Amino acid sequence: MSELKNDRYLRALAKESVDQTPVWMMRQAGRYLPEYKATRAEAGDFMSLCKNAELACEVTLQPLRRFPLDAAILFSDILTIPDAMGLGLYFSEGEGPKFERPITCKADVDKIGHPDPEGELQYVMNAVRTIRKNLDGAVPLIGFSGSPWTLATYMVEGSGTKTFTKIKKMGFAEPQTLHLLLDKLADSVITYLNAQIAAGAQSVMVFDTWGGVLSPRDYKDFSLQYMHKIVDGLTRFADGRKVPVTLFTKNGGQWIEQIAATGCDAIGLDWTIDIAEAKARVGDKVALQGNMDPSMLYASPERIREEVSTILSGFGEGNGHVMNLGHGIHLDVEPEKAGVFIEAVGELSKQYHK
């Protein structure tokens, strides 16, 4: 594998010194870019795009051609594991993901197996290999997975949800069934992420999109302990350097000390926590990623720059900050506004890295 020309992102996650704060965006390869829409139209539909290594590589590289980003993230979906478990994933236009065969009882959990990363999920590994080769060492490649709790939420609800009644009903009325499912998912995520690392991912991230809907006790019970298991099971050294792992719980700011205690390298922050407070609470135990509100990209260029400045000064001097949005970029954001954000980070962050 070629040497990394820009390792700013990996250095920041290791809390090593950098010349400026690295920046990438969640969902940076995606619906806000006209070139993405054209490639998706060529693929036919979203999952066909995910399953075509060359096209998945193309959309992964598209934002890097536009913007001076410090990392690429694999183009895929968090629901690849449940899909490979045979739940029948499909996407309804404007309604998001749905499953034909959701999990309703222990018998359903007993039936699902552990997907083979080089079998049912080989298309993901093919994409990782293709992207890594085409990056040619320009920037690191991030692999990812959904968290067990977030995956289980979709699998039990059968689709997206605003109320979480089915998954919480299972958690409170039949906790042993949900724990059985979460444990299977944690094992599958470990295998899946380790396969991504073997295929060339240089850092991995676990997206716990729905952890923030739980109470503090239930968060530890149903979400955090399984992410901790994943961190313990991951390959942490490959290709001659450390493979950092980032945990991101949306609306999880109240639990960052517990997240830091898992042994992860970095915590992803959404925009509902002040980054100065987060840094004060976790000290130099972990790096921090975040945390601008994605909706800020609707603002004027001046306001976007002001927000970047506020977040950078909130983190202040010292190492261990990766600038990002607090969640994925919205599909109707003008690409030029993303450019303002990314360029502002490069320009305004140098003063904190003397």
Which is it for strands 203-208 and 237-238: parallel, antiparallel or unpaired? unpaired
C-alpha to C-alpha distance for 152 and 144, rounded to whole angstroms: 16
- Is 110 a catalytic site residue? no
| Whether residue 65 lies in the annotated active site | no
Active-site entry in 7, 9, 32, 40 = 40
Question: Which candidate in 31, 66, 101, 129 is catalytic?
Answer: 31
| Bridge partners, 242 (sequence order) | 237
Amino acid at 12: A
Specify the pairing of strand 237-238 against strand 241-242: antiparallel
For residue 221, indicate whether it is catalytic.
no
Q: Is 303 a catalytic residue?
A: no
DSSP 330: P
Q: State yes or no: is 7 an active-site residue.
A: no
Q: Quote the CA–CA distance of 131 and 331 in Å, as a whole number.
A: 23
| C-alpha radius of gyration, the chain, whole number | 19
Q: Which of 36, 154, 192, 226 is catalytic?
A: 154
At residue 73, φ and ψ (nearest 5 deg) are -120, 135
Binding residues: 27-31, 77, 154, 209, 327
The answer to whether the CB of 291 falls within 8 A of the CB of 271 is yes
Q: Is the separation of the CB atoms in 171 and 218 below 8 Å?
A: yes
- Find the catalytic residue in 7, 70, 77, 221: 77
Q: Which phi and psi angles does 287 have, rounded to 5°?
A: -80, 160
Binding-site residue positions for substrate: 27-31, 77, 154, 209, 327
Residue 90 dihedral angles phi and psi, to the nearest 5°: -145, 160
DSSP at 294? G
Task: Give catalytic residues, as residue numbers.
Answer: 27, 31, 40, 77, 154
